Structure formats: structure tokens, C-alpha cells
Amino acid sequence: MHAAFFLLLGASLARYLLRHPWEIRSPWIIGLSAALAVLYVLGPVFGPRATPRLLVRLWLFTIVAVWMVLVVLAPSFAWCAVPLFYTGLRTLPIRAAIALVTLLTVFVVAAQLKLAHGGFDPNLVIAPPAVAAIATAVFVHAERLAGHQRALIDDLITTRRELAATERREGTLAERQRLAMEIHDTLAQGLSSQQMLLQAAERTWDGEPATARRHVRTARSIAEHNLAEARRFVHDLAPADLAEGGSLEEALRTVAARESAGFQVDGTPVALPERVQSALLRIAQGALANVREHAGANATAVTLTYLEDQVVLDIADDGRGFEAGAAPGGVRGHGLPAMRARARQLGGTLTIESTPGEGTVLSAAIPLEMP
């Protein structure tokens, strides 16, 4: 549009000088043309983005006034109005811009009629308003499309922000759930064991000091293990038993021995992802803690079975059992939900079979090819 304006301005000045080599008004025409060019160049400075609106409109009305004087002196400058249409439409509110376009169009028609020779030509009256109408319609339509596009971009940005906020909230909730499970399966279970051992030591301190000291030593061992768990938990590393043992089988054997439970491996061991090993070890820790706290069992067995398509961890006890659908020990704790969540995250399942007075079997099955 800027290039078109200067092209039309130069062509109009050239036409005038060719038709009128030198007249008394020629210096005025040349001076006004230069002034119009300078004013148009100042447009980016006083354009629509300038802060004071009054200054913007003053610039626009000045450039239009200079153009009108030029048209009165030399009608050949009339077609410079087309770029001025868009300048007015960009600068003024739509109604004021249409009024300005109408005024410019009247000047163009008058200039065309003044230049006409050989009688009245209807085309000179119809063409300028038609051009003005097309220019205005194109600009208004483009502005509407731009407005819709801006609205869509704003909606997209808002949606992305809301999605990011939702993902952050979901990530926070998932992390909180993970932390709750980790704390329950490590620190909480260890503290519970220490409490039970210290209570037993207190009861037997006077009558059976050797037994009491054994309980205290066991509690101290659990405290040391919990300290290692806490340090690794802070650094988000693997469970302490798994890191120390080097393999899932050895880690499960250590955990089972700590809880006075038997352990065996069936099938041919295969390499498991670290998160599968960690989940199975945490499930075993939680299940054995439940046995210790709620089952009152005399014997507990931990079995790790490698099948063709899955690995299965079974923890069986001969304790008091419970009704199907009821949690052991009532509704307290996060043990079973945490175990189910760990298995579900790996595409596996956790099942519990129990009958009052006949013990409990907990089974966690994890597919070897995880989704």
C-alpha cells in the first residue's frame, strides 16, 4: 500500500508536469507533493499504535487536507485517494472512516469530471464510488477475519494454559499419591514394626530380659533400615533392600527373612525393569506388614513365580483371615489401595483370597510386556 501511494503520487506529479511544463502554480504543486510524501512517511510515527489518539487524527486530517488542496489545484492527484482510504480505515473508527472515504470519493469524482473532455461520462461517476466500496468492504472483511483469528488465538492460548494447569494439578496429585504410597510402604511400616517390638520389649523387660533385648535389637535394625530407606527416598532412588541386594530375588529374601517368612522362586528368572522390581518389592513389604499387624499368623510364605508372559508374587499366611470385600483391620490405612495402584500402573492386577479363620493369599501379577 505504501509503494502504491508513492507510485500514484509520482505518476500524478509527472502527468501534471508533462501536461503543464511550467505554470505559476507549479511550485505549489511540487511543494505540496513533497509535503504530502513527507507526511505520509511520518505515518509509522503517528500511526494507529501511537499513544495519543488526537495526534494520530491530526496527522490523518493534515495529510487529507494537503491532498484535497492538491486535487483542487491538479485533479490528476485524485487517485492517490485509494491508499488514503486504507489509511483512514486503519486509523479511525469504522463509522468515521466510512465518512472520510465518502468525502475522498466525492473529491475523486469531482476531479474526474473536471478532467473529462467531450461531455458527461457515467463511468467517471460510477467507477470511483465502486472502487471505494470495494476497498472498504475488503478492509472491513479482513478486519473481521483478523478479529476472529485473534479470538481463536486467545482461546487457544487460554486452553493451553488451562490444559497446562490441569496437567500440573494431575501431576501434583499423582506425585502426592506416589509419595503417600512410598511413605506408607517404607517409613510408616517400619515405625509400626518398631512400635510393636518396643511394646513387646516393655512387657517382657522384667520377666524375660533376654527376649526384651532381642526385641530392642530387632527394632534398632529396623530403624537402621528405615534410615537407609528415608535417605534413598529423599533422593528418589530404588528401595534400600533392592539397591543393597542387587536383584529382586535377594531383596525379597531379605524382606521375608526380616518378617520371619519363607521365600522361594519358581520358574526361570528373567531381567525385569527397575520399576517392576521396585513395585513388587513394595507390594511384598506392604503385604508382610499387613500380615504382621492384622493376621496373627504362625507361618507366612512369599513366592515369586516367573511365567511365560508375566511374573507373579504371592504372599500367603495362615492367619485369621477376613471376609471377602472387607479390608483387614477395618478401613484404616492405605496398604491395599497402594498395592492395587502399583500393580495397575504397570498393567497388572492384584487379587486377594481370604476366609475368616483360614488365612489369606495375596497375589500380584505383572505382565512381562508392559503397555
**Under CATH, which architecture does the 247-371 domain have?**
2-Layer Sandwich (3.30)
Residue whose entry in the numeric block shows the C-alpha cell 475523486: 108
**Residues of the chain where predicted confidence (pLDDT) is lower than 70:** 44-52, 115-121, 171-172, 175, 178, 182, 185-186, 232-246, 324-334, 370-371
In angstroms, rounded to a whole number, what is the distance separating the alpha carbons of residues 95 and 98? 5
Q: Please report how the helices 26-41 and 53-73 are oriented relative to each other, as an axis angle in degrees rounded to 10.
A: 150
Q: Which residues contact 329 (CB under 8 A, 6 or more apart)?
A: 290, 293, 294
Strands 262-266 and 300-306: parallel
At 190 the pLDDT is 77
Predicted local confidence at residue 330, as pLDDT: 47
**pLDDT (0 to 100) of residue 118:** 58
Domain with CATH 3.30.565.10 in the chain: 247-371
Please tell me the pTM assigned to this model: 0.44
pLDDT digits (tens, 9 = 90+) for 98-115: 888 888 888 888 877 776
pLDDT value at residue 331: 41
3-state per-residue secondary structure call for the chain: CHHHHHHHHHHHHHHHHHHCCCCCCHHHHHHHHHHHHHHHHCCCCCCCCCCCHHHHHHHHHHHHHHHHHHHHHCHHHHHHHHHHHHHHHHHCCHHHHHHHHHHHHHHHHHHHHHHCCCCCCHHHHHHHHHHHHHHHHHHHHHHHHHHHHHHHHHHHHHHHHHHHHHHHHHHHHHHHHHHHHHHHHHHHHHHHHHHHHHHHHHHHCCCCHHHHHHHHHHHHHHHHHHHHHHHHHHCCCCCHHHHHHCCHHHHHHHHHHHCCCEEEEECCCCCCCHHHHHHHHHHHHHHHHHHHHHHCCCCEEEEEEECCCEEEEEEEECCCCCCCCCCCCCCCCCHHHHHHHHHHHCCCEEEEEECCCCCEEEEEEEECCCC
